[in-house]
Amino acid sequence: MTIPVKLYSATEQRDVAFHQVHREDGGRIKYKRVCQIDGEEVPYGDIAKGFELPSGEMVVLTDEDFADLPLTTSRRIDVLQFTPLEQVDPIYFNKTYYLEPDGHGAKPYVLLRDALEQSGQVAVVKVALRQRESLATLRVVDGVFVLETMLWPDEVRQAAFPFLEEEIEVRPQELAMASSLIETMAADFDPSEYKDAYREALQAVIDAKAEGRDVVQPADRSDDAPAATDLLAALRASVDAAKKSRTPAKKTPARKAPAAKKEPAKKPATRKSA
């Protein structure tokens, strides 16, 4: 079964973009494509891709060389198998795309979407984008197919660190305190609760300089936690700090005023809870 779809990037980087400029007058810095051998500037149309051999020799590839490569999945998303999502380690995920049904593909799109969502699995697929073939997963998010390209297994580095071979002893008290810290800070994930504070501060600096205002430096963040002498003390301080940040401050009861003479004409006011 073939389902025609359109591909859209699902993410974007919200970083502050800069240009390289001349410090004296703010002029943009431009670069020329110059050949290392003859020193001449090379037009973009004459630039090819080259692969340098260990010997230093350069293998030059042309568009025809790339056209002959066996990209059998070009402009196709071929489903290879269906598998539980928890079996796919997130370390393999690379980039995310939305898929929209194209033309008369809406009905088979919805059919596969509903069947895949009902199965609780994801589709493992193969796709070719920008002359590069990748594995990917296909899953359903908010009624839309989401394609997540993946790295190949040989592109994921192995975590071969020396400490993994060492025998490091963790005391039961330390493990219990660490577990207590995790329980204290456990909560449902809501991405809207977080923001890029660095980008906002950087944008504020740019806006201030553009408007000729003084740049106001943000207040330094102080660490209220006491200096710990050992790991257990550090964990205990972290637990106390986490509990303090999550527990609303208790109101101090108001001091009672001296009793006044009763006035029968007045009705006592009803107290509302905050």
Q: Which amino acid makes up residue 72?
A: T
Lowest model confidence (mean pLDDT) among 123-132, 133-142, 231-240: 231-240
Sheet with 5-9: strands ordered across: 5-9, 93-101, 144-150, 132-141, 121-129, 77-84
The pLDDT value given to residue 265? 42
Tokens of 88: 């796919």
Q: How far apart are the C-alpha atoms of 119 and 173, rounded to whole Å? A: 43
DSSP 181-222: HHHHH-----GGG---HHHHHHHHHHHHHHTTPPPPPPPPPP
Percent of the chain whose predicted confidence (pLDDT) is above 70: 82
Which residues have CB under 8 Å from 136's CB, separation 6+?
77, 124, 125, 126, 127, 147, 148, 149, 150
DSSP-based three-state secondary structure for 138: strand
- pLDDT band at 139; cut points 50, 70, 90: very high
| % of residues, the chain, pLDDT over 90 | 43
Structure confidence at residue 216 (pLDDT): 60
C-alpha span between 230 and 209 (Å, rounded): 46
Spell out a b/e string for 232-246, using b for 16 or more CB atoms within 10 Å of the CB, else e.
eebbbbbbebbeeee
pLDDT tens digits for range 206-237: 888 888 876 666 555 555 544 445 777 887 88
Token pair belonging to 8: 């859209």
CA pseudo-torsion sign 59, 62, 64, 70: positive
Instruction: Determine if the pTM surpasses 0.85.
Output: no
pLDDT digit string (tens) for 61-118? 988 888 777 765 567 889 999 999 999 999 999 999 999 999 888 999 999 999 999 9
pLDDT value, residue 272: 35
Residue 21 and residue 27 in contact, taking contact as beta carbons nearer than 8 Å: yes
